[in-house]
Amino acid sequence: LFCFQILRKEERRVRANDREYNEKFQYASNCIMTSKYNIITFLPVNLFEQFQEVANTYFLFLLILQLIPQISSLSWFTTIVPLALVLSITAVKDATDDYFRHKSDNQVNNRQSQVLIRGSLQNEKWMNVRVGDIIKLENNQFVAADLLLLSSTEPHGLCYIETAELDGETNMKVRQSVSVTSELGDPNNLASFDGEVVCEPPNNKLDRFSGTLYWREKKYSLTNQNMLLRGCVLRNTEACYGLVIFAGPDTKLMQNSGRTKFKRTSIDRLMNTLVLWIFGFLVCMGMILAVGNAGWEKEVGSLFQSYLAWDTPVNNFLFSAFLSFWSYVIILNTVVPISLYVSVEVIRLGHSYFINWDQQMFCSQCNTAAEARTTTLNEELGQVEYIFSDKTGTLTQNIMTFNKCSINGQSYGEVTDPLETQPKRLDFTPFNPLADPDFCFYDDKLLESVKVGDSCTHEFFRLLSLCHTVMSEEKSEGELVYKAQSPDEGALVTAARNFGFVFRSRTPGTITTTEMGRTVTYSLLAILDFNNIRKRMSVIVRNPEGRIRLYCKGADTVLLERLHPCNQEVMSITSDHLNEYATDGLRTLALAYRDLSEDEWEAWSESHRFADKATDCREDRLAAAYEEIEQNMMLLGATAIEDKLQEGVPETIAVLSLANIKIWVLTGDKQETAVNIGYSCKMLTDDMTEVFIISGHTVQSVRQELRSVWLCAHCDTAGRRGGGVGKQLHGSPPPPPLPLSNLMDNISGEFALVINGHSLAHALEADMEAEFVSTACACKAVICCRVTPLQKAQVVELIKKHKKAVTLAIGDGANDISMIKSAHIGVGISGQEGIQAVLASDYSFSQFRFLQRLLLVHGRWSYLRMCRFLCYFFYKNFAFTMVHFWFGFFCGFSAQTVYDQYFITLFNIVYTSLPVLAMGIFDQDVPDHRSLEYPKLYEPGQLNLLFNKREFFICIAQGIYTSVVLFFVPYAVLSNATQSNGVPLADYQTFAVTTATALVIVVSVQIVLDTGFWTVFNHVFVWGSLGSYFIIMFALHSQTLFRIFPNQFHFVGSAQSTLLQPVVWLTIALATAICIVPVLAFRFLKLDLKPQLSDTVRKHTKTQRKPPGQGRLGARGGSRRSGYAFAHQEGFGELITSGKNMRLSSLALASFASRHSSSWIDTLHTQTVHTVCFSGENTKTVIKKKKNFTHTVFLSQNASVTSGSLQEATYRLMT
Amino acid sequence: MMASSYSAKDEDGHITVSGPGGGTLRNKKPENTAFKQQRLPAWQPILTAGTVLPAFFIIGLIFIPIGIGLYVTSNNIKEFEIDYTGDDTSSPCYNCAQNFSWNNTKSCTCIIPFQLDQPYESNVFMYYGLSNFYQNHRRYVKSRDDSQLNGNIDSLKKPSKECEPYASVDNKPIAPCGAIANSMFNDTLKLFYNDPNGTSVPILLTSTGIAWWTDKHVKFRNPGGNNANLTAVFQGTVKPVNWHRPVYELDTDPENNGFINEDFIVWMRTAALPTFRKLYRIIQKNNNMAPTLPRGNYTLVVDYNYPVRSFEGRKRMILSTISWMGGKNPFLGIAYITVGSVCFFLGVVLLVIHHKYGNRNNSANISN
């Protein structure tokens, strides 16, 4: 057994259908337990966990101290009541959470699955499935454990899975069994299967698996392609059989469900520092008082022994001082009350709910409300200085719309005046029953032109319907679903579809379309596929009449060079149109065709075949062959596709940059696209002094470029100021360790920086990063394009490291996760790219524009409230506690408390907790629309002005001042005063009641001053707390309670006796005035002489009550620059012509078999699917955006063929 | 503008089957309530010159008259204080103070003559004052058993351990137990008026009505009810170490004996500060028009039992008249006048600052 244990660490052995053998290894069963407790263990385990928190342990320690009678200066309940309250609140929360985990565990564990036991299929609960079992999965079932796929009902042992729950990717993936096992087929054969799998031990790598299957003396290697992982769902596969390799906690799903790193806010960190300081302060106070005690006991106490003997163990003044120190630690501990942490959590929870409840962050289209997934970061939202944003899906919708086109020199899609009349959306249905109802176009001239039968227009749309690599799926007659590999293509084909040129289906050799209601089948002769160098794609088709034509679409720059000279006139007009479209930020393509004669085709076909078969330089040869035929083309026109920005993006960016938040766009897109988007979302403007582009490939060139940017920025600035600084700097490297703040001050022009992924890799190296940061931060906008997910995180880390600023990362895709996790705050856009980014994020919502509300409204309020809360809280507790310190000097440093012990117990949790909580939750300085109107209001948060060490010292100074007043005013008044019946007022209980009442009134008046927004809750809480103080005090001092527990309620009658005395009330009024008047005067002066923007806005709002300004930021303006963008990705043509990707689902078979048009699916049926197996390691990374598994497979194949580099593939993943 | 939509979402038509929001589409739109949208109606006070400056003036205008009233009232109160500690060789109590020992059962008497320059009208209150006596020490304050003092028989026989080391002697419980009771003030003070004609007239000192009502009627009760034979009830207990007489012999009046003896109750109400005074006796106003204590010479006769010299304490006897606001208390009046004046002054200063430098027209400053 021992050697098995060792084996288990390095490898895992699983023998099919042999439970006895597998049990020897003691593999985990398939029962999962995410819950932490059961009924018996809940209390001990939960308490153990809670006492791991330093604060709780500290209070436990205090509690133990209080149980020592010589030390105990307070009753045990003064600590245990708040502690129990805190512990039970947390315990209740933990218990509820765990209950739901139990429920979901039970639900999952009790799911049914069919297990092959002794040759027959039996239903078993998931939790009873063992490693080595063979289980049967049916369509749409969840995979119960990590399985080795043995066989499936689909040909070639293929099956399709959806991994959304595992990695958030919504596209389907294909898995294939090892060929030998795929032949086993039915349960009878499988029951006798006794292969043994040796594989790696459980790990959390979702995209890796390596193992070997030993069966019948042969070895078969296993990869991730053979595995079905728990959490996936079987799709479009009737059934399949799998061998359980990892079960329960060993599955990759469970291995991945590690706890995420706990993020702390800067306020948290500051608070922890301050709490430590306060502990230090507490110890100092204790020391001072202990020294005082030593002196007192030596000088006075020893003489006083005839009246007051020392406690039994105490025999000298030093020991007494030692005990006194601990006694004072106990009574002064309320400077850091346990309720601080609980209150902070409650406030944050409240703020999170406000975020979740905000209607203005609710997207009705996708029915998603904003969600604060982490409740602990809210106030940091008010301090953000840097935003790192993804582009696709975040700034843009990742929806391409066919916006304009130019056909034969005629531009369509112009709308004369969009503001005055709402243009009518074209209705295609009467004209074309196959039209996509979601497609919108507003220019009826184009439709007219199609109807009239303009040949150019027809040819234009014919091209669009033929020249692409889109797949179609026709679920029922006329209900077409296009599966495009890039949204651009999808938009173009859909446009053609609506204008009467409907792409219906394709086989490897044919394309079937419905042209103006007539079904036409073209034979597809060749696809000249797209790649980044060619920037164009073509198809060569033969129409039913036998004419051969090449259709080409591509980037205008490339395509216009390859036109027939006779196109000159059209070309110049089209070129103008193209410029216009680019100006509008549209993605343009030029379209052209060329007629080929049979001979030309034959000749070229031959050379193409030859190039294709070449073993060396195949790529180059193919490119040359393509180049050869794509000449002398006739220009048809151009299309313009809008990469739709999300709603409100430019406005949001403008507002955020007014709030002094720097926005960096980190995208996997190409430079042109990124810059284009940068302009359209107003990050880059034509007003900018300069937009620098860094695209060097070597360390030297990047450094050189960075320096020139730096120099340029500074020379320019220096030049403007008329200084000669620039001259000195010229030619010499800039001093990189220049203080960054100075640097920022020195820049006056507006610069933007665009940096490429490969340059960024160099810039992020240790010796250049400081230079990069200083240069980048001098620029107003920074766009990093073609960056990998890792680089995104590196950039975030870089800023975190060098700028000590709060960073926020926002993104929607799996490629943004690293960045989301490493930034202080991660925001996930719950868009179309799965939920993985959302799962990793701290906040999620569905529109980028909600970011401004999240930061400027919720974040700002949260920060303000938290700061005000903390200031008041520290003030309050110092005022409360320090009275004991002063009293120490008058009571022989004996740790006698000033107040009744019940008052000490209740002060923080009853008398003063709710008003400050209400302020912390509801306070507003300016209304929400004002903070959007005046983004500058956000700045105090960034500069950390509202709560910092200075503010903290002011608060505690105020607290100490208050405590001095609260002790010495009653001292001075009461020491000689008497009641009106002659009884002196200077007894301890009267003094305690007077001081306590004065304290409660002073802190209540202070909260009245601090609260700026009096909702009904504030009123109820403030007045209620004050009322509750008197009610509870009278109750505690009542005769009834005293008669029941005479030893517990010593204060009987004190409240009545004290509060009936006018002198007492005069004392309280005096103390309150002395405490509050200076605060009032100081605040008034500050407000009057140096008003903050928020004060001004507040005052302004109050006097004017102006409705909020709307739509200050107008429509997009144009700027002249190239708008070329061609978002296609290579890797389609070959797939289609080979037909390898095509599969036959039972559903599709049924619907297609009934139709006459034998589609490519049939062809596929007979073909083997090597391609699937071929897709290599980088499939996983590449597929992210591709929505169809077939595309996935092909893309990765070609990626590995054409570039072979993972990085290249990753670039593409982010476009 | 024109637009059309080709949405990438359409590509995966089958995908939403198991998606998070896939099944039943429930509207997740948050409720539009004022609370959830943080639009609760609210009062938003601002510290403006219009509110703050009048507040200062009002505080000033209220505090100054009150202060003057208090000051005048306090000044009208007559108070006479005499220190009889006996530290000084010239003091009549010097010998008593010097010869003191706890075991001495025979009391020492000292006679202190004094003169009142003004007649004391109305009721006159007689206090004893102690200095440097830490009745507020933690160990002292807790050294009592309220249950015992409330007449609980069990506590009487078995005092709380808070009373240690004054809980029992030779296994016999002390009643009343604890350090407070043990150290009860036991000097006897008597006043004589030296009539100008040479006779010495004793002044009637009332010893009841000097404790809190709740103390006398709720907090302190003799064991076994009010009418029981106290000697029998306290059988089996011993008197506190320092006491000369047991608790049931404090007074002859059964309403003022045992735990409900008012001298005892007054002592048990511990003082907040190390220098304190406690009400000792009340000199009731006579029915006739003559002042309670006319101007003239008096003699204070002290049975000197209570040692304070060991811890450098002082003992005083105080005579005082009283007003609606209690005894003499000049501090309160002065403090009110000062605070009121400061407020008024601050108001003026702030007004000047506001007029000279203040931002009265702020709306112009709002800019982005």
Q: CA-CA-CA-CA torsion for A595, A598, A604, A609, nearest 10 degrees? A: 130
Model confidence at A1174, pLDDT cuts 50, 70, 90, reads very low
More confident residue, B204 or A26: B204
Q: What is the per-residue pLDDT for A1147?
A: 36
The answer to which of A25-34, A280-289, A785-794, B103-112 has the lowest mean pLDDT is: B103-112
Interface touch A978/B2, C-beta < 8 Å:
no
Note whether A474 contacts B: Cβ–Cβ < 8 A. Answer: no
* Element (DSSP H or E) covering residue B188: strand B188-194
Distance from CA of B197 to the nearest CA of A (A): 32
Buried residues in B55-69 as b, exposed as e (16+ CB within 10 A):
bbeebbeebbebbee
Note whether B364 contacts A: Cβ–Cβ < 8 A. Answer: no
Interface touch A832/B8, C-beta < 8 Å:
yes
In chain B, residues with a C-beta closer than 8 Å to the C-beta of A300 are: 132, 134, 311-312
In chain B, residues with a C-beta closer than 8 Å to the C-beta of A327 are: 138
Interface touch B133/A1047, C-beta < 8 Å:
no
Distance of CA A113 to the CA centre of its chain: 35
| Per-residue pLDDT tens over the stretch A976-1023 | 888 888 899 889 999 999 999 999 999 999 999 999 999 999 999 999
Among residues A944, A742, A851, A724, the alpha carbon closest in space to that of A388 is found at A851
Q: Which chain A residue lies closest to B347 (C-alpha atoms)?
A: A1081
Interface touch B366/A1100, C-beta < 8 Å:
yes
Interface touch B42/A1013, C-beta < 8 Å:
yes
β-bridge pairing A690-694 and A751-756:
parallel
**Contacts of A163 by beta carbon, 8 Å cutoff, 6+ apart:** A169, A173, A229, A231, A232
Q: What is the per-residue pLDDT for A171?
A: 57
β-bridge pairing A120-125 and A112-117:
antiparallel
| Per-residue pLDDT tens over the stretch A137-176 | 888 888 888 888 888 887 777 787 877 666 655 556 778 8
A1183 pLDDT exceeds 80?
no
B119 pLDDT exceeds 80?
yes
Q: Which two tokens stand for residue A741?
A: 């703040």
Q: What is the per-residue pLDDT for A1215?
A: 35
Note whether B287 contacts A: Cβ–Cβ < 8 A. Answer: no
A1209 pLDDT exceeds 70?
no
Model confidence at A1198, pLDDT cuts 50, 70, 90, reads very low
Alpha-carbon gap, residue A829 to A841, rounded angstroms: 9
The backbone torsions φ and ψ at residue A1026, rounded to the nearest 5 degrees and listed phi first, read: -60, -45
Q: Which chain B residue lies closest to A936 (C-alpha atoms)?
A: B368
| Per-residue pLDDT tens over the stretch B295-316 | 899 999 998 888 888 888 899 9
Alpha-carbon gap, residue A473 to A406, rounded angstroms: 30
In chain A, residues with a C-beta closer than 8 Å to the C-beta of B6 are: 399-402, 438-439, 484, 487, 490-491, 494
Q: What is the per-residue pLDDT for B57?
A: 94
Mean pLDDT (chain A) is: 80
The count of CB pairs under 8 A between chains A and B is 397
> What are the start-end ranges of the H helices in A584-637?
598-613, 618-629
> Inter-axis angle of helices A860-888 and A317-332, to 10 degrees?
150
B3 pLDDT exceeds 50?
no
A725 pLDDT exceeds 70?
no
Q: What is the per-residue pLDDT for A9?
A: 61
Tell me if A1102 sits within 8 A of B46, measured CB to CB.
Answer: yes
Task: Say which of A644, A987, A1089 has its CB closest to residue B272.
Answer: A987
DSSP state of A1183: G
Task: Say which of A400, A423, A1187 has its CB closest to residue B2.
Answer: A423
In chain A, residues with a C-beta closer than 8 Å to the C-beta of B43 are: 1014
β-bridge pairing B108-116 and B296-304:
antiparallel
Please determine, for the modelled complex, whether the ipTM score is greater than 0.85: yes
Q: What is the per-residue pLDDT for A721?
A: 44
In Å, the largest CA–CA distance within chain B is 124
Tell me if A794 sits within 8 A of A764, measured CB to CB.
Answer: yes
Note whether A84 contacts B: Cβ–Cβ < 8 A. Answer: no
B22 pLDDT exceeds 80?
no
Which residues, in sequence order, are bridge partners of residue B206?
Answer: B282
In chain A, residues with a C-beta closer than 8 Å to the C-beta of B19 are: 164, 170
Handedness of CA A330, A332, A334, A335 (dihedral sign): negative
Interface touch B327/A73, C-beta < 8 Å:
no
Tell me if A837 sits within 8 A of A828, measured CB to CB.
Answer: yes
The backbone torsions φ and ψ at residue B359, rounded to the nearest 5 degrees and listed phi first, read: -90, 90
A1075 pLDDT exceeds 90?
yes
Prior bond of B165 cis (ω within 30°): yes
Interface touch B342/A1077, C-beta < 8 Å:
yes
Which residues, in sequence order, are bridge partners of residue B113?
Answer: B299
Alpha-carbon gap, residue A49 to A37, rounded angstroms: 11
Note whether B103 contacts A: Cβ–Cβ < 8 A. Answer: no
DSSP state of A1113: S
| Per-residue pLDDT tens over the stretch A514-552 | 888 888 999 988 888 877 677 788 999 998 888 999 999
Interface touch A487/B336, C-beta < 8 Å:
no
**Contacts of A613 by beta carbon, 8 Å cutoff, 6+ apart:** none
Task: Say which of B37, B214, B322 has its CB closest to residue A982.
Answer: B322
Alpha-carbon gap, residue A82 to A63, rounded angstroms: 11
Note whether A315 contacts B: Cβ–Cβ < 8 A. Answer: no
Mean pLDDT, range A499-507, rounded to an integer: 86
Interface touch B38/A354, C-beta < 8 Å:
yes
What is the set of domains in chain A, with CATH numbers?
A: 12-18+129-255 (2.70.150.10), 41-105+270-335 (no CATH), 378-394+646-841 (3.40.50.1000), 400-415+426-644 (3.40.1110.10)
In chain B, which among 7-36 make CB contacts under 8 A with chain A?
Answer: 7-15, 17-21, 25, 27-32, 36
Residue type, A255: Q
Among residues A160, A141, A138, A484, the alpha carbon closest in space to that of A1143 is found at A160
Q: What is the per-residue pLDDT for A307?
A: 81
Catalytic residue check, A390:
yes
Cα–Cα distances in angstroms (integers) from residue A1067 to residues A900, A1071, B6, in the given order? 19, 6, 76
Note whether A483 contacts B: Cβ–Cβ < 8 A. Answer: yes
Interface touch B332/A1066, C-beta < 8 Å:
yes
| Per-residue pLDDT tens over the stretch A352-376 | 999 999 999 998 888 888 988 888 8
In chain B, which among 123-152 make CB contacts under 8 A with chain A?
Answer: 123, 125, 127, 132-141, 143, 145-147, 149-150, 152
Q: What is the per-residue pLDDT for B104?
A: 62
| Per-residue pLDDT tens over the stretch A426-440 | 777 777 888 887 888
Distance from CA of B359 to the nearest CA of A (A): 6
Alpha-carbon gap, residue A1149 to A236, rounded angstroms: 12
Alpha-carbon gap, residue A863 to A858, rounded angstroms: 8
Interface touch A1073/B49, C-beta < 8 Å:
no
Model confidence at A423, pLDDT cuts 50, 70, 90, reads low
| Per-residue pLDDT tens over the stretch B260-288 | 999 999 999 999 999 999 999 999 987 77
More confident residue, A883 or A683: A883
Map tokens 């009010």 to a residue: B226
A887 pLDDT exceeds 90?
yes
Cα–Cα distances in angstroms (integers) from residue A922 to residues A347, A352, A1105, in the given order? 9, 12, 21
CB atoms within 10 A of CB A1068: 23
pTM of the model: 0.79
A733 pLDDT exceeds 70?
no
A91 pLDDT exceeds 80?
yes
In chain B, residues with a C-beta closer than 8 Å to the C-beta of A311 are: 139
The answer to which of A327-341, A411-425, B33-47 has the lowest mean pLDDT is: A411-425
Map tokens 């947390």 to a residue: A90
Among residues A888, A886, A887, the alpha carbon closest in space to that of A292 is found at A888
In chain A, which among 1078-1097 make CB contacts under 8 A with chain B?
Answer: 1080-1081, 1083-1085, 1087-1089, 1091, 1093, 1095-1097
The backbone torsions φ and ψ at residue A1044, rounded to the nearest 5 degrees and listed phi first, read: -75, -50
> Inter-axis angle of helices A860-888 and A988-1010, to 10 degrees?
160
Residue type, A808: L
**Contacts of A805 by beta carbon, 8 Å cutoff, 6+ apart:** A385, A386, A799, A942
Model confidence at A1130, pLDDT cuts 50, 70, 90, reads very low
Q: What is the per-residue pLDDT for A166?
A: 65
A1127 pLDDT exceeds 50?
no
Note whether B271 contacts A: Cβ–Cβ < 8 A. Answer: yes
| Per-residue pLDDT tens over the stretch B75-118 | 999 999 999 988 888 888 888 888 766 666 677 888 999 999 99
The answer to which of A347-351, A469-473, B27-31, B356-360 has the lowest mean pLDDT is: B356-360
* Element (DSSP H or E) covering residue A643: strand A634-645
| Per-residue pLDDT tens over the stretch B162-172 | 888 888 888 89
Alpha-carbon gap, residue A985 to A987, rounded angstroms: 6
Interface touch A307/B182, C-beta < 8 Å:
yes
Residue A112 DSSP SS3: strand
A390 is in an annotated binding site: yes
The answer to which of A218-222, A301-305, B19-23, B296-300 has the lowest mean pLDDT is: B19-23
Q: What is the per-residue pLDDT for A810?
A: 92
Q: State percent of chain A over pLDDT 70.
A: 83
Mean pLDDT, range A452-481, rounded to an integer: 83
Q: What is the per-residue pLDDT for A834?
A: 61
Alpha-carbon gap, residue A776 to A787, rounded angstroms: 16
Mean pLDDT, range A616-639, rounded to an integer: 86
Note whether A695 contacts B: Cβ–Cβ < 8 A. Answer: no
Q: What is the per-residue pLDDT for A1103?
A: 67
A553 is in an annotated binding site: yes
> What are the start-end ranges of the H helices in B215-285?
230-233, 262-268
A392 is in an annotated binding site: yes
In chain B, residues with a C-beta closer than 8 Å to the C-beta of A1043 are: 218
In chain A, residues with a C-beta closer than 8 Å to the C-beta of B63 are: 1073
Model confidence at A415, pLDDT cuts 50, 70, 90, reads low
Q: Which chain B residue lies closest to A978 (C-alpha atoms)?
A: B326
Note whether A325 contacts B: Cβ–Cβ < 8 A. Answer: no
Catalytic entry in A390, A643, A900, A1010:
A390
Note whether A365 contacts B: Cβ–Cβ < 8 A. Answer: no
Note whether A1016 contacts B: Cβ–Cβ < 8 A. Answer: yes
Tell me if A204 sits within 8 A of A255, measured CB to CB.
Answer: yes
Mean pLDDT, range A329-342, rounded to an integer: 84
In chain A, residues with a C-beta closer than 8 Å to the C-beta of B25 are: 367
Tell me if B148 sits within 8 A of B160, measured CB to CB.
Answer: yes
Distance from CA of B201 to the nearest CA of A (A): 24
DSSP state of A238: S
Q: State percent of chain B over pLDDT 70.
A: 88
